[in-house]
A = this chain, B = another copy of it.
Amino acid sequence: MAIDPGSIFSKLGAFTSDHDSVVSMNLFVALLCACIVIGHLLEENRWMNESITALAIGLCTGVVILLTTGGKSSHLLVFSEDLFFIYLLPPIIFNAGFQVKKKQFFRNFMTIMLFGAVGTLISFGIISSGAKYIFEVLNFHQLDIGDYLAIGAIFSATDSVCTLQVLNQDETPLLYSLVFGEGVVNDATSVVLFNAIQNFDLSHINSSIALQFAGNFLYLFILSTLLGVLTGLLSAYIIRKLYFGRHSTDREVALMILMAYMSYMLAELFYLSGILTVFFCGIVMSHYTWHNVTESSRVTTKHTFATLSFVAEIFIFLYVGMDALDIERWSVVSNSPKISLQFSSILLGLVLIGRAAFVFLLSFLSNLTKKSAHEKVNIRQQVIIWWAGLMRGAVSMALAYNKFALSETKDRKNAFMITSTITVVLFSTVVFGLMTKPLIRLLLPSPKHLVRMASSEPTSPKSFIVPLLGNGQATESNQSVPRPSSLRMLLTTPTNTVHYYWRKFDNGFMRPVFGGRGFVPFVPGSPTDRSNHQWQ
C-alpha cells in the first residue's frame, strides 16, 4: 500500500526511456510552430524574411536555455552533419529543382554553369589566397595550406535557401533562375572542392594534379546529373506504365517521395554529388512524372515537397541561431576578442570581394555571347546577383564543423575558425539579408515591367493552383496568345535552337514513353493538350 499516486501517474503511459529528449523535441516542435506563425505575421514587413525570423528566435531561445541551464548549454538537439546532409538538405534541393521554371533555367544554362562552377572556383581562389596573405601579414601562423584551402571552400558556399526567400520567381524570373541555379551548382562545387581538399595530398600541388582534379570534377558532375535524370525517368516510367492513380493516390505520392529520396541516397552510395543528383531528379520529375499522376496527387506532391523544404529551412536556421551561442567555443575565443573580430571582418571582406570579382567578370563574358539586349545581364542586375549570393548559411556551417570541430575545444585555432564562421553566417544572413529586399526595390523599382520575360510555363507546379481554383479554360486560352512570338524568338539564338530541337525530341520520343504534359492518358478536359496542338 506504499504507492504514491503521483509517481504512478508519472510511470504509466509514457514509453520513451529518455525523457529529456522528449522535452527537447517538444520545445523544438513548438519553436518551429512559433517560427511559422511569427513569419506569417511579419510577412508584410519589408525587411524581414523567414530565415532571419528563425535565426532570431533561435538566438533568443539559445539565450533562454543558456540562462536556465546556468550557462551550460544553449541548444536542444545535437546537430550532426548526417542530420543536415541526409535529412534536411535533400528536400530543400529537390523542391528547388521541382519548382524551378525549367524554360528559364535551361535557356540560361551556360551562364548558370559559368557562375556556379567557374565562379565558385574564382571565389575559392580569391578567398584562399587572400586569407593566407592577410593572416600571414597579421602574424597568425597557426593555419596550414589545407586549412586555407578549406576556408576558401567553406566561404564559397552561398546560401541558396536564403536567396530563394528574397527573390521572387514570378517577378524576376531571369534573376531568380541565375542566382538560384548558380546557388545549387555552387553548393555542389563547394562540397566537391571541400572533399577533394580533405583527401588530396596537398604538400606538392602541380599542374598534373590540377588537371586530374578538373577531370574528377567533370566526371562527378556528369555522372551525378545522369543519375538524377535516370531516377526521375524511371519514376515517370513506372508510374505511367502501372497507372497507380486508378486505385490509390497515396501510392503515387509515396512512390514519388521515396524515389526522389532514393536518387539522393544512390548518389551517396556511388560517392557522387547527391545535391546535383536530387536537383536534376526534381527537374525531370516535374517535367514527366508529375504529369503522369492524378489531379489530387499533383496538388499533394507540389505542396508536400514545398512544405518539407520549408520546414527543413526553418529547422536549419533555428538550429544555427541556437548553436551560435555555444558557450564553450566563445570562452576559448573571449581572451582575444580583437583577433576574433579581425578574423571575421577579414573573411567577410574576402567574401564580398571574391563574389564581386566573378560576378562582374563573368557577366561581362556572358553578355558578349548574347545578341539581343534583353537577354544581357545589365549592371543593376549584376549588383543584385552579387548581393543576393553574399549570404553564407547552413552548408558553410556544416563544412566548418566537419573541418574544425573534431578537436575543437582543445585547439585554439579551431575555436577561432568555428566562431568566425558563425559570425560570418549570422552577420551575412541578418545584415545582408535585411538589406536585400530594399535593395531590389531600389534597383528594380517596378520589376514586373523590367525583367519579366515573354512566357512562363502555365502548368508548371508553381502556377498550377490558379487554373484549379479559378476558371481554368479562360486562363489557359489567354496565356496561349503570346506563344507564336516566343516561337520566333526561340530561333534567333543558338542556345534556343538547341532548345527547339530538344522540344522536338521531347515531343517525338520522350513524352510518348515517359509521359508529361500533353501525354497523360484518361484525363479528358485537362488543360494539358495545348502543347500538342502547338507542335503538331
* A200 interface residue per 8 A CB criterion: yes
Question: Judging by beta carbons under 8 Å apart, are B195 and A265 in contact?
Answer: no
Please encode chain A, from 422 to 448, with 1 for each CB lying within 8 Å of some chain B CB and 0 for all others.
000000000000000000000000000
Q: Whole-angstrom distance from the CB of A357 to the nearest CB of chain B?
A: 26
* A477 interface residue per 8 A CB criterion: no
Question: Judging by beta carbons under 8 Å apart, are B307 and A11 in contact?
Answer: no
Q: Is the interface of A mostly helix, strand, loop or mixed?
A: helix
A261 to B26, CA, bound (A): 9
* A23 interface residue per 8 A CB criterion: yes
* A224 interface residue per 8 A CB criterion: yes
Interface residues of A in 1-59 (CB under 8 A from B): 1-3, 5, 8-17, 19, 22-23, 25-26, 29-30, 32-33, 36-37, 39-41, 43
Give the residue of B16, B257, B302, B402 whose beta carbon is less than 8 angstroms from that of A86: B16
Interface residues of A in 229-280 (CB under 8 A from B): 238, 242, 244, 247-251, 253-255, 257-259, 261-262, 265-269, 271-274
Give the A interface residue count (CB, 8 A): 89
* A299 interface residue per 8 A CB criterion: yes
Give the residue of B22, B220, B302 whose beta carbon is less than 8 angstroms from that of A12: B220
Q: Which of the candidate stretches A130-138, A208-216, A371-379 sits at the interface with the other chain?
A: A208-216
Give the residue of B11, B16, B191, B259 whose beta carbon is less than 8 angstroms from that of A13: B191
Contacts of A274 in B (CB 8 A): 13-15
Question: Judging by beta carbons under 8 Å apart, are A209 and B272 in contact?
Answer: no
Please encode chain A, from 299 to 338, with 1 for each CB lying within 8 Å of some chain B CB and 0 for all others.
1101110110011000000000000000000000000000
A residues neighboring B (CB under 8 Å): 1-3, 5, 8-17, 19, 22-23, 25-26, 29-30, 32-33, 36-37, 39-41, 43, 81-82, 85-86, 191-192, 195-196, 198-201, 208-209, 212, 216, 219-220, 224, 238, 242, 244, 247-251, 253-255, 257-259, 261-262, 265-269, 271-274, 295-297, 299-300, 302-304, 306-307, 310-311, 402, 465, 468-469
